[in-house]
Amino acid sequence: MKPWLHGRKPGDRRVRVERPHAPYFRYAGPGLLVAREAASRPRTPAGRAIARVRGMLFGRPLSIHEEITERLSKKKALAIFSSDPISSSAYATEEILRVLVLAGAGALLLSLPIAIAIAVLLAVVAISYRQIVQAYPSGGGDYAVARRNLPAIGSLVVAAALLLDYVMTVAVSTASAAEQVISAVPALADGKVVLGVGSIALITLGNMRGLRESGNIFALPTYLFVGSALTMIAIGVFRIVINGEGAAPAEPLPGAPEIPQAVGVLLIIRAFASGSVALTGTEAVANGVPAFNPPEARNAAATLAVVAALLAVLFIGITFVASSFGVLPVDEPVRRTVISQVAAIAFGNGSIGFYLFQTFTALILFLAANTSYNAFPRLAAILARDGYMPRQFSFRGDRLAFTSGIVVLSLVAIALLVAFGGDTHALIPLYSVGVFAAFTIGQSGMIVHWLRERPVGWKPRLAINLLGCAMTGSVAVVVLIAKAPASLLVGVIIPALVLMMLFINRQYRASAQHLAVAPDVVIPAPHREERVIVPVPGITRAVVQAVNVGRSIAPDVQAVLISDEPEEAAAIKQRWERQLPEVPLVIVESPYRALVGPMLAYLDVLDRTWPADREQPITFVVIPEYVARRWWERVLYNQSANRLRRVLIGRPHTVVVNVPYRREEEAQAEATT
C-alpha cells in the first residue's frame, strides 16, 4: 500500500498497479502529491491536438518553479517589454502636432522642444521606476508599491487605473494599427472600426488558444520596427542636415502671428500633456522584474534604461523630421498618420520601404496590444487573491481563469473602440489620464517608502520621486482638464471600479467570517439520520441507476413521480411495484401541471411528519440525469433536473445528488455481464 493512499485501512489489498499515480503525480510525502503537467493535460482528442500544435509553436506550459528558473536574457526581455512603450512613438508626435496646429503652421516648430521636454519627463519617470525596481524586486510595479505604502484605497485606485491602462493599451494600439494600415492603403478607410475590432478578435482568439509572449516570434516585430524607424530617422536627418532639405523652418505663413510669443503658454502646456502619451508602457518593465536573469533588479533597471533611451531617440527623431518637413496630421479625405508621412518622406511614397515600414509599425502596435493580454489577467489574478475581484480570476493556470480576464478585456476594449469610432486621437486622453494617475500614485507610494525606510542615500531618491510625482500628477491634471469631456470619463470609470472592488471585498470578508471555524475545535462525526428521495419521470435505466445510488446512500429511499396524467401514472406504479418492489413509489398528481412546486411541497410534508424531538434528517434528493454528449442535447434533456436542482439549492437540510447516466457506460456493463 502506498502511504499517500490515506483512505485505505492497513492491510487493504486494493492497490494493484505498482505506481499508479506516477504519470500524473509526484509523491512528495504522506498525503502530499505534486501534480505533473499530464494531470492538467486535455482529455479529448481535439484538446490534445490543439495542445500539440501550441506546444510546437510556443513550447510546453511552464510550472511556477520553471517560470522562475526560465529567466529572460536582457536582449529577449528588451523585445518583450519594449513593444508597449516603444510603440507609443507611432502616435505621440502626432498628438503634439494636433495641438500646435491650432496656433497656425508656424507653431509646429515648437514640437521639437516640447518633445525634448517630454523626453526629460520620460527620464525622470524612468529613474523613478528604476528606484521602484530596486526597492521592490519581486515585481508588481505601482500596485505593489501602493499596496505596501499607502492606505488600501490608494492601491485600489492604482489597480483601477492599471486595469483601465491595459484596456486602453488594447484600444489605442489597435486603433492606431488600423490607422497605419489605412495610411498605406487608403481604400480601406471605411473599414477602420472593423479593422480594429478584427485585430482585437484575432488577438483574443490567439490568447484563448494559449498564445503567450514567449518565443522569438514576439521579439521580431520590435527589432524590425526599431531598426527601420532608426533608418527612417537617419535618412530624414541626413536630408535635412546634409542636403538642407525640409520646409524652410523660420518662414511663417503669410499673415500668421509671430511664432513663440503668440502661442499661449497654455497651448504649450496642452501640447506637452498631449505628447506625454509617449510615456505609456514605461511601467511594463517594473511589473515584470522576476522574469529577468539574476541579479534581477540590476538587469531590469538596465533594460529599463535602454528602453527609455530608445524611446526618447525614436520620439525626438520622428518629431524632428516631421516638424522639419512641415508634416501635418491629415484627416481628409482619409486619415494619414504623421509617422506614415514621415515614412513616405524618408523612403519615398509608395516605395517598398514605405510599405514595409507601415507593416512593421502596425505589427509592433498589434504586439503592444497583445502585452495587455498577459498583464490584465495577471493583475486580475493578484486582485482576486487579495479578495478584490471574483475568485474565478485567480486560478491563473486554468483555462477558465484566463478566459474570464481575456473576454472582459476584449469586450471593454471593443466597446471603447466602437464608441470612439476607432479614432486614436479621441481615445488617447482616456489612456493618458489613466496611466499618469497610476504613475502619480506609484510615485507617492515611493515617497512614503523613502520617508519610512530612510536607507543610506534616501534623500536624493526621495527628491527624484517627489519630482516625478509632481510632474506626472501635473500631466494627469492638465490632460484631465484640457481634454475635458472625454477625459472626465476616467473620473467615472476609476471610482466605479474602486467601488466595485471594495464591494466585492466586503462580500468576501463577510462570507469568510460567516464560514469561519473556531481554530481548535475537534469536529466530531455526525449522527444525523438520512432520507433519500428520488424524483422519477417513469422507469428508465437512468432512474434505476439513480434509485440504486440512493439505496447505497441510505436504506430509507422513496421514489416520487409527479404526473398530470393519472392513468399513465397508475400504469407506471403497477409496473414499478413489480420491478422495484423494495422501493416505494409515491405518485403525486399535479392537476395544475406544475412540477417543481408539488415536489417542494412533498419534501415539506415529509419534514413536518418528522418527530419534533429529533433533529431533522438530511434529505438526499437523488436526481437522475441523462448525460448530454453534444451542446444541443443540453436543450433536449435534463431541463427539469436542472430546474429542480436550482430550486433545491436553497432548501435547508437538503443535499442534491446528480446521478448521470451515460450510454457508453451502460453498454459496457451489459457487454461484460
| Residues 628-667 within binding reach of a second copy (CB under 8 A) | 633, 635-637, 639-640, 643, 645, 649-650, 652-663, 665-666
Residue 574 in the binding site for a second copy (CB under 8 A): no
CB atoms within 10 A of CB 476: 25
Residue 506 in the binding site for a second copy (CB under 8 A): no
Q: Which of 174, 140, 133 is CA-nearest to residue 158? A: 140
Nearer to a second copy, 68 or 120 (CB): 68
CA quadruple 577, 580, 584, 585: dihedral, nearest 10: -70
Specify the stretch interacting with a second copy by CB under 8 A; choose among 106-114, 143-151, 276-284, 519-527: 519-527
Shortest reach from residue 658's CB to a second copy, in Å: 5
The upper half-sphere exposure of residue 457, i.e. CA atoms within 13 Å in the direction of its Cβ, equals 3
Round to whole Å and give the CA distance between 472 and 467: 9
Residue 16 in the binding site for a second copy (CB under 8 A): yes
Specify the stretch interacting with a second copy by CB under 8 A; choose among 27-35, 251-259, 325-333, 338-346: 27-35
Nearer to a second copy, 248 or 516 (CB): 516
Q: Which of 10, 13, 46, 56 binds a second copy (CB under 8 A)?
A: 13
Round to whole Å and give the CA distance between 588 and 538: 13
Round to whole Å and give the CA distance between 645 and 621: 9
Nearer to a second copy, 25 or 355 (CB): 25
Q: Which of 345, 363, 347 is CA-nearest to residue 355? A: 347
Residues in contact with a second copy, shown as a per-residue x/- string from 363 to 402 under the rule CB under 8 A: ---------------------------xxx--xxxx-xx-
Shortest reach from residue 550's CB to a second copy, in Å: 10
Shortest reach from residue 584's CB to a second copy, in Å: 3
In the numeric block, which cell numbers belong to residue 517? 471555524
Q: What 3-state DSSP class applies to 520?
A: coil
Shortest reach from residue 358's CB to a second copy, in Å: 40
The upper half-sphere exposure of residue 325, i.e. CA atoms within 13 Å in the direction of its Cβ, equals 25
Q: Which residues contact 660 (CB under 8 A, 6 or more apart)?
A: 625, 626, 627
Residue 6 in the binding site for a second copy (CB under 8 A): yes
Residue 208 in the binding site for a second copy (CB under 8 A): no
Q: Please report, as residue ranges, which positions from 401 to 440 form the binding site for a second copy (by CB under 8 A).
A: 401
Q: Please report, as residue ranges, which positions from 142 to 201 form the binding site for a second copy (by CB under 8 A).
A: none
Shortest reach from residue 84's CB to a second copy, in Å: 25
Nearer to a second copy, 293 or 658 (CB): 658
Q: Which of 10, 11, 43, 242 binds a second copy (CB under 8 A)?
A: 43
Nearer to a second copy, 365 or 382 (CB): 382
Give 653-658's long-range contacts (Cβ < 8 A, gap of 24+): 653/607, 653/616, 653/617, 653/618, 653/619, 654/603, 654/618, 654/619, 654/621, 655/618, 655/619, 655/620, 655/621, 656/621, 656/623, 657/549, 657/550, 657/553, 657/620, 657/621, 657/622, 657/623, 658/623, 658/625
* Cα separation values, 286 from 376, 418, 478, Å: 15, 31, 25
Q: How many residues bind a second copy (CB under 8 A)?
A: 138
Q: Which of 539, 572, 619, 644 binds a second copy (CB under 8 A)?
A: 539
Place of cell 479614432: 423
Residue 24 in the binding site for a second copy (CB under 8 A): yes
Residues in contact with a second copy, shown as a per-residue x/- string from 44 to 83 under the rule CB under 8 A: -----------------x-xxx------------------
Q: Please report, as residue ranges, which positions from 224 to 263 form the binding site for a second copy (by CB under 8 A).
A: none
Residue 27 in the binding site for a second copy (CB under 8 A): no
Nearer to a second copy, 74 or 666 (CB): 666
Q: Please report, as residue ranges, which positions from 593 to 612 form the binding site for a second copy (by CB under 8 A).
A: 593-598, 600-602, 604-606, 608-612
∠ CA(578), CA(582), CA(587), 5° rounding? 70
Residue 102 in the binding site for a second copy (CB under 8 A): no
Round to whole Å and give the CA distance between 533 and 560: 7
Q: What 3-state DSSP class applies to 508?
A: helix
